[in-house]
Amino acid sequence: MEYYVLTLFPDMIREGMNTSIIGRAIENDVISLEAINIRDYTQNKHGRTDDYPYGGGAGMVMQAQPIYDAYRSIIDRLDYRPMVVYMTPQGRVFDQQMAQELALQKGLIFLCGHYEGVDERVLDEMDVLPVSIGDFVLTGGELPAMCMIDAISRMIPGVLHNEESAEDDSFGDGLLEFPQYSRPEVWRGREVPKILLSGDHAKVDAWRREQSLMRTADRRPDLLLTAAISPKEQDFVKKYLAKKEDL
Ligand code: ADE
């Protein structure tokens, strides 16, 4: 996977992505990441990349020309055209399924907006996919782009090592993950659930599955509508919720 990030703050991207698992994947050439400074492509003699909005109103608008030239500097040296993801609170909301789908791409270009927005014409010209990371407004698209790069990269073979396996993750099967415990067996009087010490793998798996179901029912009941759960498990959830009602 090749990531290209069009931004006015390339250092934010480079600094944010050079540590931990993503930093290691870049170091090992499993993925590559290039942050392109839009300002390097402006034709304005004062280095400006934004201007007042036609029609008036508050804030500034990022101009088309520097963004487009920065974009062309990428695609003109590639023999394929990567999808362009435009980070905006007005986009489709990013989720695990989109991460899985985008992980199949050969390359991705992220456009990070700032100020009041980006001249609509350059978005049309680049045929962008508008994506939001949630219903809140950030000061720029850099953090959202980094969130997406992190979530997508975890889905790429070779990025996670065995001990970091994505298999049991929350959302893998549409459910939240079960609770985890490590040493010591008793901490501040709180005991590790006995079943986890039993060595009975079938029982542990069954317990964890129930925990996932209960946790999802408690915290994200909306996920149960689309999660891959059996009729028996649906019954379990119903009984669990009914019992909670009684308390
Ligand atoms: N830019 C500002 N807020 C954003 C959000 N929530 N998602 C994506 N890009 C953004």
pTM of the model: 0.95
* d(CA 239, ligand 1 centre) in Å: 39
Dihedrals phi, psi of 64, to nearest 5 degrees: -70, -45
Ligand 1 pocket, mutate which of 88, 98, 118 (most atoms under 8 A from CB): 88
Query: Whats the size of the chain, residue-wise?
Result: 247
- CA 44, chain centre distance (Å): 34
How far CA 128 is from CA of 54, 110, 112, 174, 202, in Å, comes to: 22, 9, 12, 28, 47
Ligand 1 pocket, mutate which of 138, 142, 148 (most atoms under 8 A from CB): 138
How far CA 214 is from CA of 15, 17, 201, 219, in Å, comes to: 39, 35, 20, 9
* d(CA 70, ligand 1 centre) in Å: 21
Contact 130, 77 (CB under 8 A): no
pLDDT tens for the chain, residues 1 to 247: 999 999 999 999 999 999 999 999 999 999 999 999 999 999 999 999 999 999 999 999 999 999 999 999 999 999 999 999 999 999 999 999 999 999 999 999 999 998 789 999 999 999 999 999 999 999 999 999 999 999 999 999 999 998 777 766 778 789 999 999 999 999 999 999 999 999 999 999 999 999 999 999 999 999 999 999 999 999 999 999 999 988 8
Closest atom of ligand 1 to CA, residue 113: 1
